[in-house]
A and B are shown apart, each in its own frame.
Chain A
């Protein structure tokens, strides 16, 4: 099961380390196995013969379409708010910046259900802002597609911010300074120099953000509820399918897995190499 060690390493371009120590190779292989095996399990148990019929079920396509739409909208929202925030964190010295950065990344580690509860307490009908939105404009956010977008954006935005901030910190500020000395205003510098400079980082962050939004479950079911066609995204459909029919759940999971892997594979190593 353990891959053949050092002998298969490419003969040229050897680093000083040379042979791969077994002490690293074995846990590395086990780690890989642990991460990949569940995906293999999904493929093994997939009911391939009935797959086409199951995919054609209207509920599946509705959930998939809703998932793709909401994840895309959430990503756009994250871009609009997250890029400026990342710029602020990377370029401006202000008191409490560390605290702000910590707060911004809290949703990364927060259980999504907690995020959903928090969203309800703010944007819910009786929430801090939600009550006012409801009484003044008649807008309610829970149980709407907008609610799904908000829940996904809340959970996914840190992924974008971290990627963009990293790209900004890695970018050479001399170009921005040069633009400034040549008479460009701050806004022109940002749009004409900074943004193109970190575009790959933004793209990578957006893709990660989109993938995270696509998989969002906890905050969505807590804040937006579960209603087919309006708030039932793919992860929710998977969970409910599990209640009645394991095979349907497997098929839905497979679709989600395929989409996610396709997206992440298109990223290649970019997000890993960005500082």
Chain B
């Protein structure tokens, strides 16, 4: 009897200790600056909420940033800008927000959750993504209106969808997509899977998947260029880290990663 009780207590203690240890590790990452760290200022975890279209370039920038700041760790949450804006306004603990459109940034700053004025750091343009080798010989938007063409667009509620609508309106092209995806990666993956013949995606997304898709430029996309704003968030658990990360994105090192990915300078 006594032995069993002892074992139970021991198990409970072990569990508690494990919890405590992981808890401490988490705290050290997010809040308390480590006095022993040699790097000045930037330590702890920096949580960046970024548009899905920034996945590849920001992941690369995050690695570079961590290499330059050994005490820092960057974690990302990539999703549709609008979903991210909603999450931030609902109190998600984030340090930095990078949006694929000013409208979603405005949602956050209007709610008083931004810190300072957001900076436009890149622009992005749409291309027509088609399966590798362009089997259907797509050359422009009008090819997508053929009756048997299956096209995926982003839903209008997300930036790539809003841009697609703008471009189609500018080109006076009316097309009926088979699906309205909830973010640009969703539209692109339907091309990669071969389920649609084409999708309107950002040039950067097409460029990130050159193994599976070709990106066809079309002139009307010039009328629907997306500005990408970035800002530090007011309730950022790691203010210093957030400032440093934004500065790094705006620096020459950050810019070169972004332009290599196919973004344009603002």
Interface, chain A (partner B; CB < 8 A): 120, 124-126, 142-143, 221, 224-228, 231-232, 239-244, 246
Contact = CB atoms under 8 A, between A and B. Distances in A.
B185 to A, nearest CB: 12
B177 A227 contact: yes
Interface string B175-190: 0011111100010001
11 contacts: A120-B193, A125-B195, A143-B178, A224-B179, A226-B155, A226-B181, A226-B182, A227-B179, A231-B179, A243-B157, A246-B86
Contacts of A244: 82, 157
B195 A120 contact: yes
B193 A221 contact: no
A227 B156 CA distance: 11
A242 B83 contact: yes
B233 interface: no
Contact of A225 (B83, B157, B158, B181): B181
Interface of B: 80, 82-83, 86, 90, 150, 152, 155, 157-158, 177-182, 186, 190, 193-196
Given A124-B194, A240-B157, A143 B86 contact: no
B182 A240 contact: yes
Closest 6 CB pairs of A and B: A225-B179, A243-B82, A143-B178, A243-B157, A126-B194, A244-B157
A120 B196 CA distance: 12
Given A143-B196, A225-B179, 6 more contacts: A126-B193, A126-B194, A224-B179, A225-B190, A226-B179, A244-B82
B180 A143 contact: no
Contacts of B86: 242-243, 246
Contacts of A124: 193-195
Contacts of B152: 225
Nearest to A117: B193
Contacts of A125: 194-195
Contact of A243 (B158, B178, B186): B158
A268 to B, nearest CB: 36
B181 A143 contact: no
A105 to B, nearest CB: 27
Given A226-B155, A243-B158, A244-B157, A221 B182 contact: yes
A243 B104 CA distance: 9
Given A125-B194, A142-B195, A225-B190, A243 B180 contact: no
A243 B195 contact: no
B150 A240 contact: no
Nearest to B197: A125
Given A240-B157, A243-B182, A244-B157, A143 B193 contact: no
Contacts of A241: 157
B195 A227 contact: no
Nearest to A126: B194
A143 B194 contact: no
A114 to B, nearest CB: 14
A115 to B, nearest CB: 15
A143 B196 CA distance: 10
B183 to A, nearest CB: 9
Given A125-B194, A225-B190, A243 B181 contact: no
B180 A226 contact: yes
Interface centre among B82, B157, B178 (most CB of A within 10 A): B178
Nearest to A225: B179
Contacts of A226: 155, 179-182
Contacts of B181: 225-226
Contacts of A126: 193-195
Contacts of B155: 226, 240, 243
Contacts of B196: 143
Contacts of A231: 179
A143 B187 CA distance: 12
Contact of B182 (A120, A143, A227, A239): A239
A226 B186 CA distance: 10
Contacts of A242: 82-83, 86
B157 to A, nearest CB: 4
Contact of A227 (B82, B83, B178): B178
A243 B100 CA distance: 13
B150 A143 contact: yes
Contacts of A142: 178, 195
A235 B225 CA distance: 31
The winner among A228, A232, A239, A244 for most chain B CB atoms within 10 A is A244
Contacts of B80: 243
A143 B195 contact: yes
